[in-house]
Structure 1
Amino acid sequence: MIQKSEIFRNLNDYENALNTLYEALPVAEKYNLQDKQSLIYRGIGNVNGLSFEFTKAKKYLHKALKIALKLNNNDLLNKANQGLLRIHYETGSDSVEYYLKKIAFYTSKSNNLSDKYKNYSNFSKIYLDKGNPIGKKYLDSSYTIAKKIGKRENIANTLNDFGIYYINVEKNYPKALEKFFEAIELFDVSSNSNNSRVLNISYANISYCYEKMGNYKKALEYNNKYYELFEEILSGRLDAARQEIETKYQIKKIEDEFKEKQSLIEERQTRNQRLLLLFASIFILAGFIFYFYYQNLLLKQKNKIKDLDNDLQYKIISATLDGQDQERNKISGILHDHVSAILSSVGLHLSAFESSLTKEQIEDLKKTRSLLKDAHDKVRDLSHELVPPLLVKLGLQYALKDLCENNSNKLIHFEFHSTLPREKRFHPDFENRIYFIVSELLNNIIKHSGASQAKLTIEELGEKLHITIEDNGKGFDTKNINKSNGFGLTQIKARVNNMNGKMKIKSIINKGTTIQISVDE
């Protein structure tokens, strides 16, 4: 049908050309023949262009181009861009050079010499029509490739283009005549339509040159040859196209009759088989339905038990971690408020005895004070490790920023970024949990990732706190996350789940890891 439309187009019967293409389009769409859809849209666009419907032409050629890009088909891309080049050239658009470059790009990826020849020929014609001498460079290239291909028609066309160059650019009509006569010498006048077309163009160009040189007798002679040959070409094309259409019609008619008879025979042969297969299929289908229903029931029960088991495990881990947090806060409070205070009080009491002691006793007292200070410092440090004072006094943002700074060194740098207001505070329990979740994740990066850069981002969206931790480390296989990361990530997941939050992990081997946490405030 696509070939049939091209016949109608060559006969200037644009209505039948379009009708044929629109008949072909539903077939291509039904069977998802995307390459054929691109060719059909290209054909519709080209016919609309020939009918001066340039807006419609661009619409359909762009559809053809879109499909060609999707398929990444170099040949279809080249064809679609050639159609758009013609439309933009005929409308005098500034986009002509853009499409020329596009065609040159796709042609450069092709090993087809004919494509390269057409490309250089396009460049030369468009530049020479404008009288731009740069067209000569492309003309030389097209002539070289035409000689490699060895087709006389291509060589003759290029010689005609050389003649156009001498007319439009150098105004050298004798030199132009030489090229046109060289083109004619390649062919004998024959019924071959391709040869006749080349000769016809040459005759018209020779007539023009003689006219410009003032030799009107010769101009009229070749002008008459042009019209005589034009009539022969038109008559030959009409006869050939008419015969081809009639032949295709007869073939299509015979094929349809054969298919109809074949369909009746096949229908009779398969009727009894279908009845037999129907009963067998019903029986087998019933067996399969029962089997899959039973297996599906078992699978649902297993999944339900597995979900309950996972839920129980998370609850156990969450309860354990909550207990640890409570104990940590309790121990930190005892160390800071009681043990530390007692040690300070002991120091004051020792100071009170200093005035009544001998010199030797004072030396012993100094040693006792030194040991007491070490004990006091260790108690303070342990208290700070259990619950950072910065977290208690200034809040989550300052504590996390301090955590990033303390963990940064020559091997790895932690960047901190927050979009929260500086004075923003959350419930103390919430801040404690988030702090230790982030602390554990940063420790994982330091121990396992091999990263040199990491970034911690916290932001508030709606009533949720979003935390993102990224690194440029070696990454890991997220499918085996439990095997590769042990109990640490399981604990963190349990903490996040216990806070009605969600945790996503994206990791690519040798490209780093991104962990996103979203929790209700």
Structure 2
Amino acid sequence: MTLYSKINKILFIVILLITALNCFGSQNQRTKTDSIIYYVEKNKPLKAISFARKESESSLLNKNYNHYCDVMIRKSEIFRNINDYENALNTLYEALAIAEKNNLKSKQCLIYRGIGNLNGLTFEFTKAKKYLHKALKIAKTLNDNDLLSKANQGLLRIHYETGSDSVDYYLKKIAYYSSKSNDLYERFKNYSNFSKIYLDKGNPDGKKYLDSAYIFAKKIGRKDNIANTLNDLGVYYMNILKDNKKALEAFFQVLKLYPNSENSKILSVSYSNISYAYEQMGDYKKALEYNNKYYDLFSEISSGRLNAARQEIETKYQIKKIEDEFKEKQSLIEERQARNQKLLLLFASIFILAGFIFYFYYQNLLLKQKNKIKDLDNDLQYKIISATLDGQDQERNKISGILHDHVSAILSSVGLHLSAFESSLTKEQIEDLKKTRSLLKDAHDKVRDLSHELVPPLLVKLGLQYALKDLCENNSNSLLSFEFHSTLAREKRFHPDFENRIYFIVSELLNNIIKHSEATNAKLSIEELGDKLHITIEDNGKGFNTNNINKSNGFGLTQIRARVNNMNGKMKIKSEPNKGTIINITVDE
């Protein structure tokens, strides 16, 4: 399989997934007067979720269950767009309960399909198939062509991504049901997907579907659809027919569609393809010119400002949830206080003698309420710290991905372009080129090392216990020895987010031992009891007074405790001066 066919396959999976998840409801229901869609288009997810919450509550109150399910499906899409898959699934399950209770079959079908697609996003392919088959069963009962097409699309994506032999079967099913649909966009989407699959398999019928997709794209009149299809046509001419001139005509048509460069993503694809076509034709000057244009757009798309803005929205959303929860609890306490005050005043006016008793009771109640508010405030601070650290983890993962998948690839591309000019250089220039290559290699190595520091590759590939064992071995030396013991099965894996959080919690605790304990021996043990993971870290260092933990952040234990609490876990510290330290952590898996 060629490089471009692999790229086309990846692009197909991404496009098919996005279009599937963005089409839970009927396209006819999405009008410009819909405030949820309005806020989504304005990139205001917080307002969209707030509006959806009010709309769903109103629909339940008025017993408009069909509209309730539509709103909840759209609300799930908003959570999915900000990568909050847990809330996206929970929202769909809430809607499913109402749909099943009121026997809303078409809504059940759409909800099952949404749950299946979300499970596919998290690589839970068995669950994904289970729910998509449920959706397909209901669609067959209703004999609804649109629902049948949508359910089969979800199954097509799962089978295509897992390399199943059933891809052709689902392609035929989708072709049959979509041919009866009057939805032009649905037909365009299917033809576009068919072309990618057939061309990836080397089937010449792919060109026929690609031409059909282009015809429907022009009928719909959406520039993005036309541009994406033209890019696909150009790749077909360039890689299959080896007709680079005809490919360039298609790519330049895309550039004409966006004279003001208003779609950076599509234009970056076109610039990259144009650069490659010119390179194949031997015109390296133009190839470099368009490669530079591609690099400029790619840098704009991948800039830190975009990541920072996205992270800020996600962090604000998490903190806002915590603050709302705190305000709600505080309001309940204030209501109780007001009610108790009225009762005390009433009894005091009737029973003077009893008033003294109630006075002391009232003071005691106030003290308890103040302690509750103080506890809530402490809990809020822990959650804010945890939300901030989670945001840092997400940012670390995003930066690592950009460094590994994009920046490293760009540096490699620069090296290839330098090679293209070597034959036309003088000896002195060749020496300078060698120095440039050496500097480029150093940059590439530093980018790779930084990516590994942000997210250890061993943690991603082999799992938590292998990464922790490697961490102990790397930190051991002649002055300090780290022992590692695990009773977990060798192949045991946890959810990636869970493994990531546990790894950095343990890493921070080991750093504390190295920096502050003056120990010569330390031991890390992990074991699984029931559905809980137990972690024990002990050292023979100088220890410390545990009563001073909350008075200083020097050891970072406050932040670590916040993270453990946010994972519904417990952390116990046993230490005395000159007697070492033992830390026990228990978390739900």
Instruction: Identify whether the pair has TM-score above 0.5, normalized to the shorter chain.
Output: no
**Coarse TM-score class (shorter-chain normalised):** 0.3 to 0.5
Indicate the structure (1 or 2) with the bigger Cα radius of gyration. 1
What is the TM-score with the length of structure 1 in the denominator? 0.44
What is the TM-score with the length of structure 2 in the denominator? 0.39
